[in-house]
Amino acid sequence: MPESVRSGAKPKPAAAKPKPAAPDRRVAVLLPLPLREAYDYRIPDGMDLGPGDYVEVPLGPRRVIGVVWGPGAGTVESGRLKAVLRKFDAPPMTGAGRRFVDWVAAYTMTPPGFVLRMAVSVPAALEPPKPMLAYLRKADAEAPPGFKMTDPRRRVLALLDDTLAGGPPRTPAELAEEAGCGITVVRGLAEAGLLDPVMLQPTRLGRPDWHRPGPSLSPDQRAAADDLRERVISGRYSTVLLDGVTGSGKTEVYYEAISAALEQGKQALVLLPEIALSAQWLDRFARRFGAPPAEWHSELTGAQRRDTWRAVAKGEVPVVVGARSALFLPYPDLGVIIVDEEHDSAYKQEEGAIYHARDMAVARAHLGGLPIALVSATPSLETKVNADSHRYARIALPARHGGAVLPEVELVDLRRDRPPARHWLAPSLRKALTDTLAGGEQAMLFLNRRGYAPLTLCRACGHRMQCPNCTAWLVEHRLARKLQCHHCGLQQPLPHACPECGEEGTMAACGPGVERIAEEVAELFPEARAAIMASDTLHGPRAIQEMVESIGRHELDIIIGTQVMAKGHHFPMLTLVGVVDADLGLNGGDLRAAERTYQLLHQVAGRAGRGERPGRVMLQTFMPEHPVMQALAAGDRDGFYQLEAEMRLEAGMPPFGRLAALIVSGEDPTLVERVAMALGRAAPRSETVHVLGPAPAPLSLLRGRHRRRLLLKAPRSTQVQPLIAEWLARVEIPPAIRVQIDVDPYSFL
C-alpha cells in the first residue's frame, strides 16, 4: 500500500515545482474512502495528469477511483511507488469543487476522503455511456409450443402492452422490478420471441430556455429580481436573504436569477428541502423555462444518477434542482445557488458526514465566487441575524401577489373549548369545518404525527409498549394493523393480551395520530370526502403528486395531513386550516423548539386562502399565552424573532454562541459510559468554553446502540474544530465505540 504523503485539509497548490531529487513523476490522489490523507502515485509514461483528473489506482489488492488532488509530496521512495492505472475521459473536478471538499471536511471534522465520496457518488458515470438493452412487445407474436404462460410472464407482457401503442421501451431491470419477478422471466420471454429488443441511448433532457419571458413583475418583484440579476452578472460572491411572505412571488423572482445565470452560460443550482415532494415546483419550472431541470435526490434510479452526473460534469445541464447532496455534483461553472425554504431542518444531514446544506452552500458560493440566495418566509434565526447585521444582504417582498390577503389566525384555547372525551377537535373547530364544507370549500387538518396513536398502554397494569432497540414508544398504525418504531423501523402486530400482565383486551390507544383524526372526521362528516396525507400512507413522489392534483381538482373536502402537507403546495379552494395540536413541537427542551414550531405553523397557515377566497387558520393549544402562539395570532413575525433572539443572546446560544456535540455510542453500555466519562474529564475548559455532560442522550438507546452526549459551548468567535481535535487526541477510543462529531448540532436527541 502506498504511504500517506500529506496531512491536514489544505490542498497543495497545483503549481508547486516537482522536487529535483525525485526523477519520477508523481501525484497525490485522494480516494473516496474514510482516509485523512491523499496518497502518492507514479504517473506512468505517456499519461498526462492535472489536478482534478479522475483516475483509477491500485490500493492493496483493489482498484479504486480517485481524484488527483495535487502534486506528489515525494516522501515515498520511487521504488515503492505504485503507478496510476488509468485516467478517465471526463472533465476534471474544478478547483472550486476540490476546495469545497477540503472545506467541508475541515469544518465538519470528517475525513476528506469521506466527503469526496459524496462528490464521486456514481463511479459508473466515469465510464463511457453504453447503449442499453430494452424491450418492446412484439405485435402478433405467438408463444412457441410448450411455453407455459405463468403469472410473472403475464405480468411482464401486460406491462409492455402500451408499447404496442407507442409507449416507451423498458429495460429488463425495470420490467423485473415493476412486475415483481426475476430478470430471468424477462429473458425467457425474449428467448421465446415474444419481445422486440431495442438499444437505448442515455436520455437527454431538453435545455431550459432563458429567452422565454416570465410574468410581468410588480415593482417590488422587479426591484428584487434586478438586484439578484446584477449579482449573478457581477460573478462575485454574496449572500442574500430573499425574505417575503408566502405567495409574494419569491419563486418568480429567483427564476430571474436562474435566467441571468443561463444567459451568462453558467449553471444554476436550486436546493429544496424535500425534492421528492416537489412535483408542483418541477411543473412550474418547466412551464416557465420550456424544459424541466435535472433532478438530484435519493429517489433516482442508478441509470438516472449516472446520466445526470455525467451530463452535469460535461456542462450539458444548465439547471439542477436537488436535495442537499446536489451540492457535491461536478458543476463546471456554477453561476448562482438558490436555497429555497432555507430554514427547513431537512437541510441538516444527520448521518455519515454530518453537515448543514444551507451553511455548506454558502461556503460553496464563497469558494466558487458566486452569489447565493437564501429564500424563506420564516428565515432561520441564524440567517435573520446575519441579515440584520449586514453580513448578508436582504431583499424583501412584503406583500402577497395580486392582493391576496394573509389568512386570519385564531387560537382555540383547549382548556375552555374542550373536545369530547377521546376526541380531538374542539367545538369551535368542528363548527368551522361544518361552515367550510357547507360553503363548498376545502379544509385541512394538520397534525405532525403519523399513525393512529403515539402510545399504547394496558388499562389493567399500566404497561406501555416500548421499542426494544430504542428509547421510544411504539406507534400504533391501525391501517397497517401494526405497532411501529419510528426510529428503527421495528414492526410488530398489535398484541391482544398485555405482554406484561397477560390480561386480554386491555390494550388502549393514547393520544391521536392522523389516522385517529381521520376516524373522528368520518364520524362527524360521514358524507365528506376525506383523505390522509402522510409519508407512510403515500408511497413515493408520484403518489404525493397524484394526491396534490386531486386536492387541486377539489375531489377531496378534508385533508388530514402531516408535514408532507405543509410544503409549498398551492390549493385555491382550501380556506380552512385547523392545527390539531399546535403545542406538539414545543415540548422536549430543544434549543430551536419555539423557532421551529413558529416556522412550521406559519408555513401550514400559509396553505389557507391562496386563491381568491380568504383563509382562516385555527390553532388548538393549551398555551395560548405562549409567545409563539401570540406571534402567530398577531401576525407579528419580527416581534417573535426579536424575543427569540434576545433569549438566545442572553443564554449565549446560537447564533450568538457556538455549539458542538459529541455522541458516544456502542453496544456495551458500560464501555460507552467509561469512554464518555473519560471524554468528560479530558474536556477543554476555560472562562469562555464549557462542556456539558456526559449525559444520556434523550434517545439513550437507538437501533440497539447505547448513547451518551457531550455538548461544547463556546463564544461565536471561537474556532471549535481545533479544540475538539485536541480534546479527542487526549482520549483513547476503543474500536467498539463510535464518537460522532456534530458541529452546529440541530438535533439534541
| Interacting residues toward ligand ADP by CB under 6 A | 215, 217-218, 221, 244, 246-252, 401, 570
Q: How near is the Cβ of 565 to ligand ADP at its closest, in Å? A: 16
Residue closer to ligand ADP, measured from CB, 250 or 616: 250
DSSP 149: -
- Specify the residue, 163 or 246, whose C-beta has the smaller distance to ligand ADP: 246
- Residue 217 touches which of Zn ion, ligand ADP, none (CB < 5 to 8 A by kind)? ligand ADP
Task: Tell the smallest beta-carbon distance from residue 275 to ligand ADP (Å).
Answer: 16
Residue 244 binding partner per list ligand ADP, Zn ion, none, with a CB distance cut-off of 5 to 8 Å that depends on partner kind: ligand ADP
The interface partner of residue 308, options being Zn ion, ligand ADP, none and the CB cut-off 5 to 8 Å by kind, is: none
CB under 5 to 8 A by kind: which of ligand ADP, Zn ion, none does 469 bind?
Answer: Zn ion
d(CA 56, CA 58): 7
State which residue, 250 or 430, has the beta carbon closest to ligand ADP: 250
488: contact with Zn ion by CB under 5 A: yes
The item of Zn ion, ligand ADP, none sharing an interface with residue 485, based on CB under 5 to 8 Å by kind, is: Zn ion
Q: Residue 115's closest CA among 2, 31, 237, 7?
A: 31
Q: Does 482 bind Zn ion (CB under 5 A)?
A: no
3-state secondary structure of 586: helix
Residue with smaller CB distance to ligand ADP, 397 or 714: 397
| 181 annotated as belonging to a binding site for a ligand | no
Q: Closer to ligand ADP by CB, 55 or 338: give it.
A: 338
Size of the site for Zn ion (CB under 5 A): 7
**Closest separation between CB of residue 331 and ligand ADP, Å?**
24
- Report in angstroms how near the CB of residue 394 gets to ligand ADP at its nearest: 15
Q: What does DSSP assign to residue 492?
A: E
SS3 563: helix
467 binds Zn ion (CB under 5 A): yes
Distances (CA, A) of 177 to 8, 135, 425: 45, 14, 43
Residue type at 332 in one-letter notation: P
Shortest Cβ distance from residue 209 to ligand ADP (Å)? 18
Residue closer to ligand ADP by CB (options 111, 214) is 214
Say how far apart CA 740 and CA 320 lie, in whole Å: 31
Query: Any contact of residue 485 with Zn ion (CB under 5 A)?
Result: yes
From ligand ADP, Zn ion, none, interface partner of 138 (C-beta below 5 to 8 A by class): none
**Which of residues 246 and 386 has its CB atom nearest to ligand ADP in the complex?**
246
Q: Are 411 and 601 in contact (CB under 8 A)?
A: no
Question: From CA 353, how far away is CA 351, in angstroms rounded?
Answer: 6
Closest to ligand ADP by CB, 120 or 605: 605
* Residue 264 sits in the site that holds Zn ion (CB under 5 A): no
* CA atoms of 525 and 505, how far apart (whole Å): 29
Contacts of 367 (CB under 8 A, 6+ apart): 96, 99, 100, 103
Does 662 engage in binding with Zn ion (CB under 5 A)? Answer: no
Report the nearest approach of ligand ADP to the CB of residue 218 (Å). 6
Nearer Cβ to ligand ADP (221/537): 221
User: From the list Zn ion, ligand ADP, none, which binds 401 (C-beta under 5 to 8 Å, kind-based)?
Assistant: ligand ADP
**Is residue 510 part of an annotated ligand binding site?**
no
**Cell numbers at residue 145, please?**
409450443
**Cβ–Cβ < 8 Å for 67, 30:** yes
Q: Which helix (H) or strand (E) holds 259?
A: helix 250-263
Distance, in Å, from the CA atom of 396 to the CA atom of 373, rounded to the nearest integer, reads: 12
Q: In the bound complex, what is the minimum distance in angstroms from residue 456's beta carbon to Zn ion?
A: 14
CB of 551 to ligand ADP, least distance (A): 15
Cα–Cα nearest to 169, from 192, 190, 142, 147 = 190
Stretch that binds Zn ion, among 35-43, 151-159, 263-271, 469-477 (CB under 5 A): 469-477
Q: Would you say 49 or 271 has its CB closer to ligand ADP?
A: 271
x/- mask, Zn ion, residues 266-305, rule CB under 5 A, reads ----------------------------------------
**Chain-centroid distance, C-alpha 737:** 28
- State yes or no: 470 annotated in a binding site: yes
**Would you count residue 470 as binding Zn ion (CB under 5 A)?**
yes
The CB-of-699 to Zn ion minimum distance in angstroms stands at 9
Interacting span for Zn ion (CB under 5 A) from 159-167, 311-319, 484-492, 571-579: 484-492
Q: Does 642 bind Zn ion (CB under 5 A)?
A: no
* Shortest separation between residue 375's beta carbon and ligand ADP, angstroms: 7
Output phi, psi for 335, to 5 deg.
-105, -25
> What is the Cα–Cα distance from 40 to 30, expressed in whole angstroms?
9
Shortest separation between residue 469's beta carbon and Zn ion, angstroms: 4
Could you give the 3-state DSSP secondary structure of residue 480? coil
Q: Rule CB under 5 A: is residue 492 a binding residue for Zn ion?
A: no
First to last CA, the chain: 40
Closest to Zn ion by CB, 12 vs 487, is 487
Smallest gap, in angstroms, from Cβ of residue 640 to ligand ADP?
19
Q: Which is nearer to ligand ADP, 215 or 302 (CB)?
A: 215
Look up residue 367 and give its three cell numbers: 469558494
Contacts of 674 (CB under 8 A, 6+ apart): none
**H or E element that contains 463:** none
Polymer length in residues for the chain: 749
Q: How far apart are CA 210 and CA 632, in angstroms?
A: 39
Q: Candidates 311-319, 478-486, 513-521, 581-589: pick the segment binding Zn ion (CB under 5 A).
A: 478-486
Nearest approach, Cβ of 396 to ligand ADP (angstroms)? 11
CB of 597 to ligand ADP, least distance (A): 20
- Specify whether the CB–CB gap between 470 and 485 falls below 8 A: yes
User: Rounded to whole angstroms, how far apart are CA atoms 265 and 279?
Assistant: 27
Quick one: which of 47, 46, 87 has its CA closest to 66? 87
What amino acid occupies position 628?
A: V
Q: Are 187 and 195 in contact (CB under 8 A)?
A: no
Regarding 469 and contact with Zn ion (CB under 5 A), the answer is yes
Q: Does 106 bind Zn ion (CB under 5 A)?
A: no
Residue 694 binding target from ligand ADP, Zn ion, none, CB below 5 to 8 Å by type: none
In a 13 Å sphere around the CA of 607, the CA atoms on its Cβ side amount to 30
Identify which of 346, 307, 310, 301 has the alpha carbon closest to the alpha carbon of residue 325. Answer: 346
The β-bridge relationship of strands 54-59 and 62-71 is antiparallel
| Pair 508, 456: CB distance under 8 Å | yes
For Zn ion, the closer CB: 270 or 472:
472
487 binds Zn ion (CB under 5 A): yes
Query: How far is CA 305 from each of CA 87, 122, 300, 339, rounded to the nearest angstrom?
Result: 21, 7, 6, 21
- Give whichever of 315 and 611 is closer to ligand ADP, judged by the CB atom: 611
Contact 702, 667 (CB under 8 A): no
Helix ranges (DSSP H) in 69-146: 95-108, 112-119
Please choose, from the candidates 68, 72, 73, 71, the residue with its C-alpha nearest in 3D space to the C-alpha of residue 92.
68
Task: Assess 465 for contact with Zn ion (CB under 5 A).
Answer: no
Selection from ligand ADP, Zn ion, none that 250 binds (CB < 5 to 8 A by kind) is ligand ADP
Residue ranges at the known binding site: 458, 461, 467, 470, 485, 488, 498, 501
Residue ranges at the known binding site for Zn(2+): 458, 461, 467, 470, 485, 488, 498, 501
Q: Which residues bind Zn ion (CB under 5 A)?
A: 467, 469-470, 485, 487-488, 490
